Structure 1
Amino acid sequence: MKGAMKTPLKAPMKNLLLGTLLASFSAGALAQATGFPPPPERPRFVSVSGDGEVSAVPDRARLQLGVTQLSADVATAEAEVNKVVRTYLAEAKKLGAKDEQITTTGVSIQPEYVWDEKERRNQLTGYRVSRDIELRITSLDKLGAFLLAATKSGVNQVQPPQLESSKAKELENQALAAAAKDAQAKASLLASTLGVKLGGVRSIAENGSSPPVPMVKAMAMRAEAADGNAQMGISTGEIRVRASVNAEFDLAP
């Protein structure tokens, strides 16, 4: 027989052979063969979060107090409230509070009603007058004395003291630095566990610092104690500041 007749390849077979041939090339050879640049390598990185916390002894406090009085006559209610406020301010100044540490500008006057079923309408019964007192205390050993003086003077609304530190910004920065170190330690642990090398930081974002959290410790109450803190069983303990971050670190090839 003369030379065997060659059967032309069909289109699907041609594509399969071409794909197999191209797959056998390296990225560089493929780039040279096709004239197109190789696809960029996917970045290798690890994402972690970090948390930090610092604690400190508070050195000041903020007291939120209030006086409220209900009376049929608004002037009477207002006079009684103002009398209590003046009495407490005098006691607070005896304990060492200065004018710049006291705020008494909050005033509220609200009419009070009750529903009259017979008349089918609200009936005015009087007026509730309220005043707010904010006191910034810089001597925590007198905190209990300020509270005792408030109730003694007729103050009838007392919020829990808000403990603070004059170094609040410094504490926030320390907590943030601790959070960053925690994120780096986590990333390093993950990289070493998986047998890769940790590279530089790609990005880092602060999640924000939480407000100081007071950790108030109780004391045994002593009726014979001379100072207000011991008499009320108050111990200021410490405050804690927390911060957190999200970070991404490169993984070295």
Structure 2
Amino acid sequence: MPIARPFRPLLVPALAALMVAASPPMLSHAHAEETPRRLEVQAEAELQVVPDRATLSARLWERTPAIARHEASANDPDALREARDRLEARAAKLIRALEEAGLAREAIRAGSLNVQPEHLPGERLEEGERETLVRTRLERPIRLQLDDLEQLPGLLDALTEAGVDALDGVSYDLADRDAATDEALVKALEKARHKATLMAKTLGIGLGEVIAVSETRSPIFQPRMMAMSADARESLPQPEYRPGTITIEAGVSVSWKIK
């Protein structure tokens, strides 16, 4: 007869189950030690800068005589040449006037000649329809670079006296854009540090070393535009020119280790 053996519980599986159940808290504790406590702050700053440079845009144009569309088989070379000669003579006169007003020749840029057709309504025909007239417009843009904003009123006077056909406006700018954008970024970082210091003091915690820095908004520089027209200028006997300020915004996110 087989000999009966006393019952013994299986301790190995139970011990393994106990070890498995105890493992997650140990891993979580190790993960907590790897991830330091941090204080993260986001800050944005705005910088107002007075411009010290300006670009003035104007245009001159001349037109050929308008003729009926059915008669315009091709552009009249004589009419085009005459219009171009008139335009070039006016541009040369304007450049001389600007130089006499104190602007250096290298600060004057005469753009490429632009030629485009124009369609105009003509007389009514017997059938009730209106005849279409065609002419050609020759245009030359003029751009002036001003490093001294005090010259702006005198140059505008020279442009209007020279009879420019359009004043497209003034774009205010900075001679050193990089310095302005750097200042805006520094201002955002200083604001982030101030916020972190205030929060740590209020919460009774200590700030350690910086562990992460990133930009949430890169400093963007955008010149300030001021529109104008020759007609509006003539209606103002004593105009004032105020460049105002240029706004530069910057944003950062900074994380400090909590002691």
TM-score, structure 2 normalization: 0.67
Query: Residues 160-199 of structure 1: matches in 2 within 5 Å?
Result: 160-199=169-208
- 1:88-127 aligned at under 5 Å gives the runs 88-113=94-119, 125-127=134-136
Shift of 1:174: 1.7
Question: Which residue, out of 215, 233, 238, partners 1:231?
Answer: 238
CA gap of 1:8–1:242, structure 2 versus 1, over 3 A, is same
Q: Partner residue of 2:219?
A: 209
**Structure 1 residue 177 displacement after superposition:** 1.1
Moved more, 122-131 or 147-156: 122-131
80, 86, 92: which is aligned to 1:80?
Answer: 86
Q: Name the SS of the counterpart of 1:247 in structure 2.
A: strand
Contact in 2 for aligned 1:62/1:134 (Cα 8 Å): yes
Amino acid paired to 2:90? V
Mark the CA change 1:57 to 1:243 in structure 2 (over 3 Å): closer, same or farther: closer
Asked if 1:138 corresponds to 2:147, the answer is yes
2:248 is matched with 242
Q: Post-superposition shift, 1:87?
A: 2.3
Within 2, Cα distance between the matches of 1:69 and 1:103? 19
What is the Cα deviation at residue 175 of structure 1?
1.7
2:52 to 34, 59, 68: 59
| Cα deviation, residue 142, structure 1 | 2.3
TM-score by length of 1: 0.69
Q: Deviations over 1:46-99 (max 9, x none)?
A: 443333344444333211111233323333332333233222212111111111
- The CA distance in 2 between the partners of 1:14 and 1:139, in whole Å, is 86
Letter in 2 for 1:79: D
Task: Note the C-alpha offset of 1:108.
Answer: 0.7
Residue identity matched to 2:220: S
Task: Note the alpha carbon deviations across 1:178-215, whole angstroms, 9 max, x for none.
Answer: 12111222333344444433332233334332225659
**2:87 maps to 1:71:** no
Question: In 2 relative to 1, CA 133–215 (structure 1 residues): closer, same or farther, beyond 3 Å?
Answer: closer
Rounded to whole Å, the distance in 1 between the matches of 2:62 and 2:225 is 34
Hey, what's the Cα distance between the residues in 2 that align with 1:54 and 1:164? 14
Task: Give the 3 Å change call, closer, same or farther, for CA 19–187 of structure 1 in structure 2.
Answer: same
Answer with 172-181 or 198-207: which moved more: 198-207
The one-letter amino acid of 1:166's match is A
CA distance in 1, matches of 2:60, 2:145: 17
Sort the Cα spacing of 1:204 and 1:61 in 2 relative to 1 into closer, same or farther, 3 A.
same
The Cα RMSD (Å) is 3.9
Question: C-alpha displacement at 1:155, in angstroms?
Answer: 1.0
- Specify every segment of 5 or more residues in structure 1 that has no aligned partner in the other structure, as ranges: 31-37, 217-228
In the alignment, the residues of structure 2 paired with residue 231 and residue 67 of structure 1 have an alpha-carbon distance, to the nearest angstrom, of: 24
Q: Letter of the 2:198 partner, please give it.
A: L
For the residue of structure 2 that corresponds to 1:154, the secondary structure is: coil
Taking every aligned residue pair, what percent have the same amino acid on both sides?
22
Cα pair distance change 1:69/1:246, threshold 3 Å: same
Instruction: Say which SS state the counterpart of residue 248 (structure 1) adopts.
Output: strand
CA distance in 2: counterparts of 1:162 and 1:214, whole angstroms: 6
Q: Distance in 2 between matches of 1:104 and 1:169?
A: 28
1:84 and 1:192 map into 2 onto residues whose CA distance is 70
Residue-pair matches, total: 224
Instruction: Look up the equivalent residue of 1:149 and give its one-letter code.
Output: A
